[in-house]
Amino acid sequence: MFVPPRAIEGARGHAGAFRQVAHGCARVSTAPERLERGGEHILLIELSWASHVIRVAHLKTIVLVCATVASLFENDRSQIAIEVHHTRMKGTWMEIVDGIHRFDTGPFNWYLIEEGGRLTLVDAGFPSHYGVFVDGLAAIGRTLADLEAVILTHSHADHTGFAARLQRETNARILVHRDDRDAISRQYVLPWAGLVSHLWRPFTASIVWHAVTHGLLRGSRIPSADVFDGGDELDVPGHPTVIHVPGHTDGEVAFFLAGRGVLFSGDTLVTRNLYTGAEGTPQVPSHGLNTDDELAMVSLDRMRDLGTVTMLPGHGRPWHGRMDDAVRLARQLPA
């Protein structure tokens, strides 16, 4: 699965292979995700075995994460310069919005905010994703010394993974909502009821396998952390505002960067079904994955008036659009 250059030409608003799904965001028939900012186009394409990133600056330069894909573009090298940028296979990263980087490690996403050369990590994957993070830092010319804070959307182990290691090895602060503070000090915190009851599904089984092979059993216990509450503006790079959206967990939050129009939605709204693996529109995690399904749905009202955002979820691809539409779409889906 790949995007030929002619499909990229189509992205400029002609028919091509692209289907406009929201302002500034399109989906390609071969399944890539495209975001646009200014004159720059960003594509996230997915091969059968990994996700890869293509970045198109003014449709002149394509930066690929996979050399294999580069060869697919050879016929059109005269038209579009191609640069192999990153070849790591354990995960990928891409800059979504200026200074906002997305790390993609399987069906688990986490993010990095840059501000004035200082960094805030939003969630921390599983313990073994640490190497992907360090490589990503190097790729953007940063080091662990630039990391000032790790802010957690909630206490599940797929979001807290290497935070404890960063706490030991750097001066970074760890911050979490008051109501998930106790949970991050425990081991193996995952929504086990849903995962175990759906373990017969290949995708759910693959998630649990990924967790076990990427450090779940090593544990990601975080002994100490600072706490925040809903409505706080955090004094960390990016200065995100906390929106408390309980239901997935008691202390589940989204982080909003009003100035950049970015919402880190954690697992309040995701765009991938964790039972089937299907990519889709914004949705609350399926029944069995939330502490309180009904509350998770009701709490969405706290995000519906944020206007147009680039929503960066804990699972699934970025989504761009109005948050009242995101909430409406989530409520239309069966639980």
> Whole-number minimum distance, CB 171 to Zn ion, in Å?
27
Please report the sign of the dihedral spanned by the C-alpha atoms of residue 125, residue 126, residue 131, residue 132: negative
In contact, 234 and 149? CB cutoff 8 Å: yes
Smallest distance, Å, CB 21 to Zn ion?
A: 23
Nearer to Zn ion by Cβ, of 55 and 159: the residue is 159
> Within 10 Å of residue 226's Cβ, how many Cβ atoms?
14
Using CB under 5 A, which residues numbered 62 to 81 contact Zn ion?
none
Minimum distance of Zn ion from residue 282's CB (angstroms): 15
Residues 15-54 that bind Zn ion (CB under 5 A): none
Q: Measured from the CB of residue 153, what is the shortest distance to Zn ion in angstroms?
A: 8
Task: Measure the CA–CA gap between 191 and 184, rounded to whole angstroms.
Answer: 13
Between residues 93 and 110, which has the closer beta carbon with respect to Zn ion? 110
> Segment 195-224, which members bind Zn ion (CB under 5 A)?
none
Non-local CB neighbours of 146 within 8 Å, separated by 6+ positions:
117, 118, 119, 137
E strand map for 74-179: 81-84, 92-97, 100-105, 108-115, 118-122, 147-151, 173-177
Q: Shortest approach of Zn ion to residue 123 CB, angstroms?
A: 8
Report in angstroms how near the CB of residue 155 gets to Zn ion at its nearest: 8
Q: Give 233's DSSP letter.
A: B
Give 11 or 190: the residue with its C-beta nearer to Zn ion.
190
Write the DSSP assignment of 154-200 as a string of letters: -S-HHHHTTHHHHHHHS--EEEEEGGGTTGGGSSS-S-HHHHHHTTT
Q: CB nearer to Zn ion: give 16 or 247.
A: 247
By CB under 5 A, tell whether 114 contacts Zn ion. no
129 interacts with Zn ion by CB under 5 A: no
Q: In this structure, what token pair is assigned to residue 22?
A: 């929201």
Q: Which of residues 161-180 bind Zn ion (CB under 5 A)?
A: none
The reply to whether 156 sits near Zn ion by the rule CB under 5 A is: yes
In sequence order, what DSSP letters do the residues of 35-67 get, joined into one string?
A: EEETTEEEEEEE-SS-EEEEEEETTTEEEES-H
Six-digit token string for 310: 């680039």
CB of 266 to Zn ion, least distance (A): 7
* 110 or 256: CB nearest Zn ion: 110
Name the residue nearer to Zn ion (CB basis): 148 or 252: 252
**Sheet of 241-244, strand order:** 241-244, 253-257, 262-266, 308-313, 319-322
Looking at the Cβ atoms of 10 and 266, the one nearer to Zn ion is 266
Which residue from 293, 286, 240 is spatially nearest to 123, judged by alpha carbons?
240
Residue in 95, 114, 158, 180 binding Zn ion, rule: CB under 5 A: 158
Exposure string of 72-104, with b = 16+ CB inside 10 Å and e = fewer, is: ebeeeeeeeebeebbeeeebbbbbbbebbbbbb
Q: How many residues bind Zn ion (CB under 5 A)?
A: 4
Residues 250-269 that bind Zn ion (CB under 5 A): 267
Of 314, 316, 318, 321, the residue at the interface with Zn ion (CB under 5 A) is 314
Distance in Å, CB of 249 to Zn ion, minimum: 7
* Segment near Zn ion (CB under 5 A); pick from 122-130, 174-182, 301-309, 310-318: 310-318
**Residues between 268 and 297 with contacts to Zn ion, criterion CB under 5 A:** none
Amino acid letter at 145?
A
Residues of the shown chain interacting with Zn ion in the complex, contacts defined by CB under 5 A: 156, 158, 267, 314
